[in-house]
Chains A and B, each alone.
Chain A
Amino acid sequence: MPYKKLRIEVANRVGYILLDAGSRFNKLSITTIRELKRALAQVEADREVGAVVLSGYPGESFAVGADIGQMLHFDPADAFHFAELGQSLFEQIESCHKPVIGALNGITMGGGCDLAMACDIRIAVDSLQIAHPGARLGIITGFCGTRKLPRIVGKNFAREMFMTSDPYNAVEALQMGLVDRVHQSADFWPMVTGFAERIASHPLKALSASKRLLNAAENCDLRSGCLLERETATHINSNLL
């Protein structure tokens, strides 16, 4: 089945999922989320791919939240199912055994911010505008952002972002730790592809083992995490001695 809201490219062991939802902003509609799930499954299964880049490049936005016109008519049950669908995409990104890099090429709002936070690493263009504007709309996010943003930027910056609903720029996002790297727009895409290709050149089993362990580190106590690391490392590093 062809994709309407995105396209997939594979080059030098990197799988690119490029959102292009057809308007200025990549709205995370139900269709777009379903296509993202399908595209990710396809790229994950592709043996030619060692790392995944998720971006809205070369468009104006990375992704914005749901279509407000669509959401206006949601009742609480619709909202619940919509949150469930979005959360299932983010779970899929986290459990994907290949690293997923979010390349934030521009406007990143609401659900788009949550999509970025589901990625393992975030690289932003210097013109980035990133916001969680739920409180302007009378809602909170339903896409795991209330849990993930405080863990990434600290509780206090998370509360500030949610409470002001204002856009933050690349410098602020870097200072908060919301993005890991910032590049000027002229260098942005070459830096993203170069970085992704370097990661993709490493042995996949070592990449996926470290991704699993780093995700587990967030969710379990130190001793259990170390036990898990020992088991995994024994298996992965079997040629160490």
Chain B
Amino acid sequence: MSERLCSIQYKDRGLVVLAAHWRESASTAEFLETLGKRIATISDNGEIRGVVVTGLSQVRQQCRRADDATLYDVSALSGFGQQILFNLEKTGKPSIAAIDGECTGLGLEIALACDFMVASETARFGFPAIAEGLIPFCGGTQRLARLVGKSKAKEMIYSGDLIDSAEALRIKLVNRLYPEPELLPKTMELMAHICTRSPNAIRIGGEVVNAGFDIDLQTACMLERNAFALCFSSFDRHEGMQAFLDKRQPRFKGE
């Protein structure tokens, strides 16, 4: 059954869709465990170039606590979820969350761990579970504050109100909006476009952006200098620069 909570659909050109399929009977832990397995598969498969994440509006946080659950269990679940979303962040492949419908709670936490979000015009976003006394537990408070600023994050989390897609675009929670029927095709097209770029540069760039964001400027720039120099021992940069000079499309290998 857990196999069906979250699936990988293989498309052409190395693209995959990572789709969440929520079932009322599933527990949050079961869902996270399945998600973790799918993320591991994506990390390990060199053929996969880019990931589009869908179905996040189906993801529900299960609020009912098992009678015998202890605080230790709740803490362990949070640690487990956080680790899985760290793993999503560092698959080394670009990821875009395509949002339609209401993306809330854990679904929004997953979207926040992707490289960026795109959404349909009817999408809405928020953390409404505050009404039942629940707060984000998979890195959502930290990623939201870093993305939209501290006060906007507090406004969303304290109120539990959902914001619409126009507001989400304005506060930079999502990067692009598409009409609902075009959401998935346009997102796949965007990801295919990104996958024509050097996978090596995208992986190293993503790592340096994530590592540099929370540290001081000098240390971040030192990291970047080293990573920049590392690119110059790759096949991709020779191919990329030669193709630029020859005015042709590069053929990257990701090495």
> Which A positions have Cβ atoms within 8 angstroms of B?
68-69, 71-72, 74-80, 83-84, 87, 134-142, 144-147, 149-151, 153-160, 162-166, 176-177, 218-219
Mask, B201-229, CB within 8 Å of A = 1, is 11011101100110011001100111111
B232 at the A interface (CB under 8 A): yes
Shortest distance in angstroms between B233's beta carbon and chain A's nearest beta carbon?
5
The residues in B between 142 and 171 inclusive whose CB is less than 8 angstroms from any CB of A are 146-148
Q: Give A146 to B215 CA distance when docked, in angstroms.
A: 12
| From B146, B148, B201, B226, contact of A139 by CB (8 A) | B201
B175 at the A interface (CB under 8 A): yes
B242 at the A interface (CB under 8 A): yes
Query: Nearest CB to that of B194 among chain A residues?
Result: A163
Which 7 residue pairs spanning A and B have beta carbons closest together?
A: A142-B228, A138-B236, A138-B240, A138-B237, A156-B116, A135-B197, A137-B240
Interface hub of A72, A137, A144 (most chain B Cβ within 10 A): A137
| From A71, A79, A136, A156, contact of B229 by CB (8 A) | A79
Whether A79 contacts B228 in the complex (CB less than 8 A), given A136-B240, A138-B236, A138-B239, comes out as: yes
Q: Give A144 to B212 CA distance when docked, in angstroms.
A: 10
Contact A146 B209 (CB under 8 A): yes
Partner-contacting stretch, out of B38-46, B59-67, B73-81, B244-252: B244-252
Q: Give A219 to B219 CA distance when docked, in angstroms.
A: 11
Q: Give A23 to B209 CA distance when docked, in angstroms.
A: 32
Contact B194 A154 (CB under 8 A): no
B1 at the A interface (CB under 8 A): no
Query: Nearest CB to that of A73 among chain B residues?
Result: B241
Contact A140 B147 (CB under 8 A): no
B4 at the A interface (CB under 8 A): no
Known: A79-B231, A158-B209, A163-B197. 9 other contacts (CB 8 A): A68-B244, A87-B225, A140-B201, A147-B212, A149-B209, A160-B115, A160-B116, A164-B197, A166-B193
Q: Give A144 to B221 CA distance when docked, in angstroms.
A: 5
Shortest distance in angstroms between B199's beta carbon and chain A's nearest beta carbon?
9
Contact B115 A138 (CB under 8 A): no
B117 at the A interface (CB under 8 A): yes
Contact B229 A76 (CB under 8 A): yes
Query: Nearest CB to that of B244 among chain A residues?
Result: A68
Interface of A is mostly: helix
Contact B115 A159 (CB under 8 A): yes
Contact A156 B117 (CB under 8 A): yes
Mask, B177-195, CB within 8 Å of A = 1, is 0000000000000100110
Contact B172 A156 (CB under 8 A): yes
| From A136, A146, A163, contact of B244 by CB (8 A) | A136
Interface size on B, residues (CB 8 A): 51
Contact B220 A139 (CB under 8 A): no
Q: Which residues of A contact B206 (CB under 8 A)?
A: 159, 162-163
B9 at the A interface (CB under 8 A): no
Shortest distance in angstroms between B43's beta carbon and chain A's nearest beta carbon?
18
Q: Which residues of A contact B229 (CB under 8 A)?
A: 76-77, 79-80, 83, 142
Q: Give A33 to B205 CA distance when docked, in angstroms.
A: 23
| From B193, B194, B205, B209, contact of A155 by CB (8 A) | B209
Q: Which residues of B contact A79 (CB under 8 A)?
A: 228-229, 231-232
Contact A138 B220 (CB under 8 A): no
Contact B252 A150 (CB under 8 A): no
Q: Which residues of B contact A159 (CB under 8 A)?
A: 94, 115-116, 205-206, 209
B238 at the A interface (CB under 8 A): yes
Query: Nearest CB to that of B216 among chain A residues?
Result: A219
Contact B233 A138 (CB under 8 A): no
Q: Which residues of A contact B147 (CB under 8 A)?
A: 154-156
Q: Give A156 to B233 CA distance when docked, in angstroms.
A: 28
Shortest distance in angstroms between A85's beta carbon and chain B's nearest beta carbon?
10
B200 at the A interface (CB under 8 A): yes
Whether A76 contacts B205 in the complex (CB less than 8 A), given A147-B217, A147-B224, comes out as: no
Contact A78 B94 (CB under 8 A): no
B198 at the A interface (CB under 8 A): yes
Q: Which residues of A contact B201 (CB under 8 A)?
A: 134-135, 137-140
Q: Which residues of B contact A155 (CB under 8 A)?
A: 146-147, 209, 213
Shortest distance in angstroms between B190's beta carbon and chain A's nearest beta carbon?
8
Contact A163 B175 (CB under 8 A): no
Interface hub of A83, A153, A163, A218 (most chain B Cβ within 10 A): A163
Q: Which residues of A contact B236 (CB under 8 A)?
A: 138
